[in-house]
Chain A
Amino acid sequence: MAKVLVVTSGKGGVGKTTSTAALGAALAQMGQRVVVIDFDVGLRNLDLVLGAERRVVFDLINVVQGVAKLQQALIRDKRLENLWLLPASQTRDKDALTEEGISRIIAELRTRFDWILCDSPAGIERGAMLAMRFADAAVIVTNPEVSSVRDSDRIIGMLDSKTVKAERGEMVEKHILITRYDPGRASRGEMLSIDDILEILATPLLGIIPESQDVLKASNVGSPVTLHNADSPPARAYTDAVGRLLGDSIEMTVPTERKGFMSRLLGRKAA
């Protein structure tokens, strides 16, 4: 049965779009049929991170308004045949997104895909509300930083009250994904630890994505990090997170750079 997963955070810049692309690609790499939807009307970026920016013709609002058919707006990834993108509109008014329209689109996508990943815009306004509205599960992207943790708590409160599932008296399945984590700084007491964040948010952990240059390198070339450099620490962390989403029990670790003999000999780089 199809699962609708919202990738959300409240705060901007914590890695929602990067995580949506990486989780979506990793799911597709495991044979799941995946569609990723960009809900950030006016500030779309999922197309860019996925390297599909020049292939956008129709968008989410065109489909909501009946200007285009869903089939015309969906863009198939060139590398992963199981991965599809439904881009946001870059020009139209975000008020054009309606709950009825999104409901109809998600119902149709449920018949065609195993996973529907909704990339939420930052904030708690209409776009963010609609991105989570029909979710079965949520990934709350959190940085080890006070403002991000506070906003995650707010979003958790909304997932528990403003979603269709919550209104039916059911629970949206919630997962914390910690991004930009620096184990060195955490161990020196300069950064909130994983335990601190989980205790404060009282929500289970899906994965820990280490701070890494590989994330920027992947987005530079328009490739999800799990595809661009599958052996890099963030790619392995995202792949593990997806394994857990699929129900595998995978030990929770923070992947580190696999070092060759010479770099071991010369000592480690600053974390």
Chain B
Amino acid sequence: MNFLKLINGRKATAPIARERLQILLAHERGLRGQSDLLELLRSEILAAVQRHVDIDTDKIVIRMERGPQVSTLEVDIEVPNGAHKSLAAVG
């Protein structure tokens, strides 16, 4: 990828398109009632985290990979120190 950047002088945009589509379509399939395990896990994980922490949505990175045998869900959340909701309420 770095080599590509070097000869191109700009960032490849296709991987961004791919990631945006994977997240969006998993969500839309959920709305259509086509339940998708990866999307279910994603939304429940985020809901669980949000119960305890105020998260800035820009600080969440989600990646989904779908393969014939194995799929992966990567949820990367940046939690600032002191963001715990119940502690904040006490303080």
Contact = CB atoms under 8 A, between A and B. Distances in A.
Interface in A141-159: 145-146, 149-150, 153-154, 157
Contacts of B14: 186, 189-193, 196
7 contacts: A150-B21, A157-B34, A188-B8, A189-B4, A189-B12, A190-B14, A196-B14
B17 A146 contact: yes
Interface string A157-199: 1001000000000000000000000000010111111001001
Per DSSP, chain B at the interface is: helix
B18 A153 contact: no
Given A153-B25, A157-B29, A157-B34, A146 B20 contact: yes
Contacts, number: 49
Contacts of B28: 150, 153-154
Interface in B1-60: 1, 4, 8, 12-15, 17-18, 20-22, 24-25, 28-29, 32, 34
Interface of B: 1, 4, 8, 12-15, 17-18, 20-22, 24-25, 28-29, 32, 34, 66-67
A134 to B, nearest CB: 22
Interface of A: 145-146, 149-150, 153-154, 157, 160, 186, 188-193, 196, 199-200, 202
